[in-house]
Structure 1
């Protein structure tokens, strides 16, 4: 019995110390934001990055995407991640059908008391990303050192991919207005897309685009990010987070351990093709945290 009492006392002391440590940590890192909501497409959701969430499984929403990393880093009170792979701006206000379920309209997650919102959307509007990765690789063989994909999407001298971004800008601006209407006191961050292609050089085994299309691909990304940034400027009540510049040197062609973006091959336990890796999500979370701390 004496041994039992000693053990009980020891466990009580350990429990007390643990509780004290937890209280100290909470005091050191008080919740700066009470309710964080993450909205977005697959570049927010993080398809195939372990481990997946099940609400619903078809969104391929990772428990290690940048909203999860950011929420932990900021010690938020609660956070709600409703990002979903394949989402475009229309899925902010309408339910999105996905395999094995339905993702509710993403803006429905917002509350009057929500005080932090991140929005990563726009790349799927007008099928921009899908058109690029679905078309460009198959055209490389026709002109490996040229720009066959850029030519494919140019009609009468007009770059049809970039021309569609004017609509994307209006759509994103409308989404921002919808966020403010539902959560009028929230800090709202529109998060841009990180760099996919390198600033120079090529890696056709990873990014199977024609050499001349690498620069064009980057220019499309820059135009997409500019559309999002312009929507933020027109909105006037949100801010834009640039991830394209900070991801320089972390493109899909970067050396092992440096790339934020996966290449053409789907990695079942790491990332979908042409999508962020776990280190990319961590990198974007760092960029957002720095933006908030400025």
Structure 2
């Protein structure tokens, strides 16, 4: 378990699957990444007393931001040093002036779901990483959470299984049909449990770090309402994919409301920045090793989240 293997490029026939764990298998980190622009302008007039001292970032690949430069292997978590937690921490250190800025403990990991908050995760490099909650302490005073999309394989189904089914019936709705059992849609039904799981995550964070300000970050819009060919779905499944994404977003909003924590509304902010847009915040179906994993955030998206988090914090 402690041996580290260098990842190898994935075969072309597998590059279109989004299952966060499967999509990262055998991918190679490339060096020579360019620096990412600052996420936010420096804020004047902020008291150093307002700056958190210990910031813990929990989340999956939309927090880890695989292949956003500069990227590190992180035992298979593929965590960027310019993801939004890193950008937020850097801005808070600037705001602190001559005082110490926050200690950032970023344990976000590609492939993580809510169960990996309390249980170890085996990454694509077959490394076992500790439960993310192990990073929480009573002294932690800021926690961001970005989780839920991998529960019940929601993202993996939409961008992995559904495109495979589209080949058989490109004009129909084969994915929607395949997921209906006994008169119920199994994917949509599972999202009710996602809301309960995320709510439990927030409540446990509050118990472990009672002094922490907790911020829940939702997911960006991947496609506009009219659909997007870049998801490689059958024509009739575009509306279905949008419905699933909206239901996931609703689950996160309900979890935030039920636990009375702040929601950073990336869903709303990302309108007009979908995969098919002129200025996308999320990559399309082809991995760009110098910018982002397939169907994962670009640096521009991470900068946007950082700005939203800082705004929520009053910076």
Q: What's the TM-score once normalised by structure 2's chain length?
A: 0.78
| 2:162 is the counterpart of 1:136 | yes
Name the structure where helix makes up a greater proportion of residues: 1
Distance 1:213 1:27 in 2: 48
5+ residue gaps in structure 1? 1-24
What is residue 72 of structure 1 aligned with on the other side? 90
Partner SS state of residue 258, structure 2 = helix
Distance 2:128 2:264 in 1: 29
Flag the structure with more relative contact order, 1 or 2, with Cα contacts below 8 A and sequence separation at least 6: 2
| CA distance 1:291–1:199, change in 2 (3 Å) | farther
How far residue 143 of structure 1 moved from its aligned partner, in angstroms, is: 3.3
1:89 to 102, 114, 117: 114
Distance 1:101 1:217 in 2: 32
Structure whose CA Rg is larger: 1
How far residue 200 of structure 1 moved from its aligned partner, in angstroms, is: 2.5
| CA distance 1:212–1:292, change in 2 (3 Å) | farther
| 2:236 is the counterpart of 1:217 | no
Partner SS state of residue 179, structure 1 = helix
How far residue 234 of structure 1 moved from its aligned partner, in angstroms, is: 2.1
Distance 1:72 1:111 in 2: 21
Partner SS state of residue 104, structure 2 = strand
How far residue 248 of structure 1 moved from its aligned partner, in angstroms, is: 0.5
| 2:65 is the counterpart of 1:46 | yes
Q: Number of paired residues?
A: 264
What is residue 258 of structure 2 aligned with on the other side? 234
- Aligned-residue CA RMSD (Å): 2.0
5+ residue gaps in structure 2? 1-41, 94-100
Residues 199, 248 of structure 1: 8 Å contact kept: no
What is residue 22 of structure 2 aligned with on the other side? none
Q: What's the TM-score once normalised by structure 1's chain length?
A: 0.84
What is residue 290 of structure 2 aligned with on the other side? 269
How far residue 285 of structure 1 moved from its aligned partner, in angstroms, is: 1.4
Residues 112, 150 of structure 2: 8 Å contact kept: yes
